[in-house]
Amino acid sequence: MMKKYLIIFLGLVFLYRCVVDVEVELPLENSIVLNGLIVPGDTISVSLHRSGVSTDTAGFEVIGDARVTLFENDEALGSLHYQGNGIYRAGNVAKELAAYKVVVETPEGEIARAETFTPEIDFNANITTLNETDSILSHRPFYLTLTDNPDKKNFYWICIFISMYEINPDTILSYRNLQYNLYSGSAYADPFNITYNYEGSGEYCFEHERFILLDDNNFNGETITFDFWNSYDSWKQDSILVYNTDEHYSNYLKSKLISEKGGEYIAEDMPPLNYVPSFLYSNVQNGMGILGSCTRYVKVYNQF
Amino acid sequence: MKYQILPLLILLSQIAYSQHTLSGKITDTGTGETLVGATIYNPGAKQGTSSNDYGFFSLKLPGGKQQVVFSFVGYEPQTIFIDLKTDSILNIGLSSDNVLSEVTVTESRRQYFLSGVQMGENRLTAREIENLPVVLGETDVLKAIQSLPGVNAGNDGTAGISVRGGSPDQTLILLDEVPVYNVNHLFGYFSVFNNDAIKEANLIKGTIPAQYGGRLSSVLDIRMKEGNLHEHTGKASLSTLSGKYTIEGPIIKGKASYMLSGRATWLDLPLRLYFYLTDNDMKVYYSFWDLNGKANFELSNSDRLFVSFYGGNDEFFVGNEDDNYFAGNSSTKYQFSWGNYTASARWNHIFSSKLFSNLTAYFSSYNYSHLYEMKSTSDTLNIDTYSSLADASLKYDFDYYPDNAHKIKFGTKLSYLFFQPEKTDLDTVQAGLSSHYQAPVVDLYVNDEFLLGEKLRVSAGLRLSSLKRGEKYEFHLMPRFSACYPLSPSLSLKAGYSIMVQHLHQLTNPSLSLPTTMWVLSNASLESSSSNLSSIGLYYLNDKGLELSGEAYFNTMDKVIDYKPGKENFKINENQWGESVMVGEGFSYGIELFAKYRLGSYFGQLSYTYSRSYRKYDELAHVGYYPYMYDRPHNISLQITKEFETSQNAKFNKRLTLNFNYMSGHLISFSNYTIPAILPDEFEGYKHHISDFNYYIPHPNNVRLPAVHHLDLSFHLENKKKEKSSWVFSIYNIYNRKNISFYYVQNEQVKGAALLPIIPSVTWNYKF
């Protein structure tokens, strides 16, 4: 809202249509893109592509002839095997609290590498709600209790998947969506994806877009309880997921979501004064993409 | 007999070789203002010195009758014959009324330009600043500084300066020895320095002398007028943007004087009129003001007291002032204000003809706040975000002249810094903990300028700075070294090396220099920045006044900070600024060429700078070094002034100035390249509206915007009578170049906002 006024102000002052299109010359980029999300307990796989100008995953050039070596706690575990569509898979199952490194060598002599440290599988998360079946409330608060590991930096991402049925889970599935709006007034929540403030339950809270991020910079070693809620709808199943990610994947997801907000649009032809370019986080040396890791906690609630 | 002659010979030789110190002050005869950097030269002994920052000088001369020449740029030289029998005090006044128009290369100019050890120094007087064409009729010292080699503007038309590819916070800007932490009015388009209150500005961007510290790249030392000691005078100025009023005069004739200068914009008047006439619910106001004041008192022949202050504020308001907005259900307002306040007291004391001291106590503060208020019928939300910095310091500086071969400066400074990087208060929601920081900084320095052999003049200094970081005190040693060697009477070679340390850092929005920049101090987890600057230069000045210089430099920096990529400004809950910054290293290098010449009634100066500046951060390790946001390789600046000959009966002196500036374009971060994305497996089968690809920018500042250039013209009609009006007509950007002030990206297209088209303006001045 503030920015809209700023624009009007400038328009009045300068009385001049001052916005021009700028033609820019971009240097050609054709980087290695290494993507992998390691989940302790699952087998390890990564994907290799080339960067491009595609807006469709299938449109990216795959790298199918690279040598991909996996290291666990600095010990070589061997090569990952190509599965097609740019996917390379290892026979190994990932461990919790372990350091993994992936080194990519292409026939052209390019070498890219990335590292991650896997989080613990059980991170002492628990979700409760006051009334599990009450359908009168316009929203239902959830309480997430976490006991932080003081020796580790943890990044907790909360999201809710909704499965909407005609009557109950045995009937026809209407749709399966990621819940768009999550609400919380807690100071523990990172405000990066707040869309606007919202008045609910007699107090102000903030609407977070699709995810709420808690990073343990705000707490260290203690048990915290965090409240949040989504909007109510009947005949649905809420699957609440809490991801415990490493720092790299958390940074990546955060930068991705900021980037997808598309900058600071106000309205057509109105220049946002406070435009800040978005950068996609990457931990891949000599390339792009992300090698991250995560574990998860799931709680399912039915609203029937 | 021979035993009787011997004592006589000894006595005669003592008389012949006895030396006495001549000391005193050099002032302007018209106003009584002290002259800084004036030259005192004894042709017989071929020895000279220059006046210090308070006009004081000390020169050892042989006993007996001596000729001493006092000179200063823009003033008529004075030659004095003095019979020196003992240490003597001589206060000299120089006159600027009858300066010869033809080319005269004074000893002062030669001493300053060819023999001075200081590299990369440019001194501008208020009159030189007034000469340049201006935007909206507003003369601005920082814009005049931008015409000097090695200095770039932040964005087009803005007053922010980047010196040698460094960030604006790497320049220490002093107003009467007090640091000014925010120099912007009107979102950076004008500086806070009212030219009518300024005596001169001195930019040092080479090896910085040991008496200065705290910043990495340069020092801009601005001095306010002291006030006319002899008569009451004043000046009123009206420009398109603002009105200014300055008065000065004696409190006690010849002993004490004052100067008071105020400025306020009337930009809000047309805005208020517009909203009044259109009966619009929404209101937009903008205003700024500033006030400079100074008084000085000559307490005795050896003591002088200066008291000065500055205050200024900007305020921007949008919204409605009543509660009827949004159909009576709610109202919204946004208020944004920022400002500086400085105050200082300085006491000059002359201990002896060889020892001068200046004790300064000052306070400087900067704060900004933005208030967002939303009212509804049921409730009110206030989000008040503010940031502040306060600097209370005490410093004691000494100038010691043991003999003509040495000029020693030493001193100490104790600062206490209080700051709050950013705090947000929400009336109903706890937004997190506030962050207050405070730290003492103690500095000690010594610098000696001396002759090594017959020709080599050397300045060697050392500054020690101590900062309390966390629970520990950290010490930094900063050596400074510069030397000057005359290759011929008209050509000198200079070289310098310095280590600088910076404890305070400014975090800035890369897109537009809004005053939301916040200052942060090195703390337990963030080390102070440092730089190593090496420079070398050639300086040429011939008898016809042609002045040429060329300097090359290489600077490496460590522990420089910046916002992490993707960090947004105007965050609601950003009090942990340490999490938002990254720490890295950088380097810059460049060549600066400068020429100055007067030919009859024409005066011209031309500068060209080639410079590069790079940064590297661990957070962007895959990128390595990339161009810093202030990397602008080419910068050309040309000014030509024509003074018209007028008849004796003519009412006005006429002067036409043409100004041309060219700068490589601003660097921006943009790309339309994409890479595939990765999400957890659970997202398969759900509609999530999260893209399966991402745009990515290979590294910050990867694209350069078009070059910025403009041609400006100003015409001065200066009344010959003292108490009459004068006019300045200016046209900025004559050929209406659409230079981009800031950019943004919309629908994968880079768009630029060109805020300064061709702008004619007029300024009326009345002196009384």
Q: What's the confidence (pLDDT) of residue A198? A: 65
Residues of chain B neighbouring A257 (CB-CB closer than 8 A): 690
- Locate CATH 2.60.40.1790 in chain A: 32-51+60-117
pLDDT band at B432 (very low <50, low <70, confident <90, very high): very low
| Beta pairing partners, B556 | B532, B587
| Nearest-by-Cβ selection for B750 from A22, A265, A281 | A22
| Four-residue CA torsion sign, A221, A224, A228, A234 | positive
Residues of chain B neighbouring A187 (CB-CB closer than 8 A): 429-432, 573
Phi, psi of B270 (to 5 degrees): -65, -30
A218 Ramachandran zone, left/alpha/beta (phi>0; psi -120 to 50): alpha
Residue linked to tokens 């420089």: B560
Residues of chain B neighbouring A178 (CB-CB closer than 8 A): 683, 686-690
A positions 136-175 inside 8 Å of B (CB) = 161, 175
Average pLDDT over residues B458-478: 91
pLDDT band at A135 (very low <50, low <70, confident <90, very high): very low
Asked if the Cβ–Cβ distance from B695 to A177 is below 8 Å, we say no
Q: What's the confidence (pLDDT) of residue B528? A: 92
AA letter at B653: N
Distance from CA of A141 to the nearest CA of B (A): 17
End-to-end CA distance of chain A: 39
| Nearest-by-Cβ selection for B673 from A20, A53, A199 | A53
Residues of chain A neighbouring B326 (CB-CB closer than 8 A): none
| Four-residue CA torsion sign, B278, B280, B282, B287 | positive
**Residue of chain A minimizing CA distance to B333:** A2
Token pair belonging to A166:
């005609």
Q: pLDDT tens digits for B197-206? A: 999 999 999 8
CATH fit for domain B121-666+705-767, picks 2.40.50.140, 2.40.170.20, 1.20.1250.20, 3.30.450.90: 2.40.170.20
Cβ of residue A210 closer than 8 Å to a chain B Cβ: yes
| Nearest-by-Cβ selection for B381 from A22, A194, A197 | A197
| Four-residue CA torsion sign, B175, B556, B565, A243 | negative
Alpha carbon distances (Å) from A162 to A140, B683, B685: 14, 11, 11
Q: What's the confidence (pLDDT) of residue A169? A: 72
The per-residue b/e assignment along B28-52, b for 16 or more CB within 10 angstroms, e otherwise, is: bbbbbbbbbbbbbbbeebebbbbbb
What torsion do the CA atoms of B646, B647, B651, B653 make, to the nearest 10 degrees? 20
AA letter at B342: T
Q: Bigger pLDDT: B115 or A25?
A: B115
Cα angle: B227, vertex B228, B230; to 5 degrees: 150
Contact B311, B339 (CB under 8 A): yes
pLDDT band at B707 (very low <50, low <70, confident <90, very high): very high
Chains A and B form CB pairs within 8 A to the count of 261
| Nearest-by-Cβ selection for B674 from A20, A52, A264 | A52
What torsion do the CA atoms of B30, B33, B39, B41 make, to the nearest 10 degrees? 60
Asked if the Cβ–Cβ distance from A194 to B572 is below 8 Å, we say yes
| Nearest-by-Cβ selection for A272 from B378, B566, B744 | B744
The per-residue b/e assignment along A124-138, b for 16 or more CB within 10 angstroms, e otherwise, is: ebebebeeeeeeeee
Distance from CA of A244 to the nearest CA of B (A): 12
Distance from CA of B32 to the nearest CA of A (A): 42
Residues of chain A neighbouring B703 (CB-CB closer than 8 A): 24-26
Asked if the Cβ–Cβ distance from A265 to B746 is below 8 Å, we say yes
| Superfamily (CATH H level) for B19-103 | Carboxypeptidase-like, regulatory domain (2.60.40.1120)
Pick the closest to residue B334 from B287, B379, B288, B285 (CA basis). Answer: B285
AA letter at B634: H
Name residues whose C-beta falls within 8 Å of residue B422's C-beta, 6 or more positions apart in sequence: B385, B386, B387, B435, B518, B574, B575, B577
Three-class HEC string of B346-373:
EEEEEEECCEEEEEEEEEEEEEEEEEEE
AA letter at B376: S
Tell me the C-alpha distance between B180 and B437, whole Å.
Answer: 19
**Residue of chain A minimizing CA distance to B514:** A274
Distance from CA of A250 to the nearest CA of B (A): 11
Contact B314, B335 (CB under 8 A): no
Suggest the residue from B135, B423, B674, B743 to mutate for an interface test with chain A (most A CBs closer than 10 A): B674
Pick the closest to residue B43 from B99, B139, B110, B98 (CA basis). Answer: B110
Tell me the C-alpha distance between A114 and A104, whole Å.
Answer: 9
Residues of chain A neighbouring B572 (CB-CB closer than 8 A): 191, 194, 206
Residues of chain B neighbouring A263 (CB-CB closer than 8 A): 744-746
pLDDT band at B378 (very low <50, low <70, confident <90, very high): low
DSSP string, B611-627: EEEEEEEGGGTTT-SEE
Contact B237, B130 (CB under 8 A): no
Residue linked to tokens 């048990």: A223
Distance from CA of B750 to the nearest CA of A (A): 5
End-to-end CA distance of chain B: 74
Q: Which residue ranges make up each domain of chain B?
A: 19-103, 121-666+705-767
Asked if the Cβ–Cβ distance from A20 to B740 is below 8 Å, we say yes
Asked if the Cβ–Cβ distance from B511 to A275 is below 8 Å, we say yes
Residue linked to tokens 């200068």: B261
pLDDT band at A58 (very low <50, low <70, confident <90, very high): confident
Q: pLDDT tens digits for B308-341? A: 999 999 988 877 655 444 444 567 777 888 899 9
CATH fit for domain A32-51+60-117, picks 2.10.50.10, 1.10.10.10, 3.90.650.10, 2.60.40.1790: 2.60.40.1790
| Nearest-by-Cβ selection for B687 from A178, A199, A284 | A178
Phi, psi of B631 (to 5 degrees): -75, 110
Q: pLDDT tens digits for A201-225? A: 555 678 888 999 997 777 777 888 8
Tell me the C-alpha distance between B44 and B40, whole Å.
Answer: 12
Suggest the residue from A278, A290, A293, A294 to mutate for an interface test with chain B (most B CBs closer than 10 A): A278
Suggest the residue from A256, A284, A296 to mutate for an interface test with chain B (most B CBs closer than 10 A): A256
Q: What's the confidence (pLDDT) of residue A115? A: 95
Asked if the Cβ–Cβ distance from B673 to A22 is below 8 Å, we say no
| Nearest-by-Cβ selection for B428 from A29, A203, A292 | A203
Q: What's the confidence (pLDDT) of residue A270? A: 52
pLDDT at residue B449 tops 90: yes
pLDDT at residue B189 tops 90: no
What torsion do the CA atoms of B558, B563, B566, B569 make, to the nearest 10 degrees? -170
**Residue of chain B minimizing CA distance to A50:** B675
Q: pLDDT tens digits for B24-51? A: 999 998 888 888 888 888 888 788 888 9
Contact A31, A50 (CB under 8 A): yes
Name residues whose C-beta falls within 8 Å of residue A206's C-beta, 6 or more positions apart in sequence: A183, A184, A185, A189, A191, A194, A196, A197, A198, B429, B572
State yes or no: ipTM above 0.90.
no
Average pLDDT over residues A232-251: 86
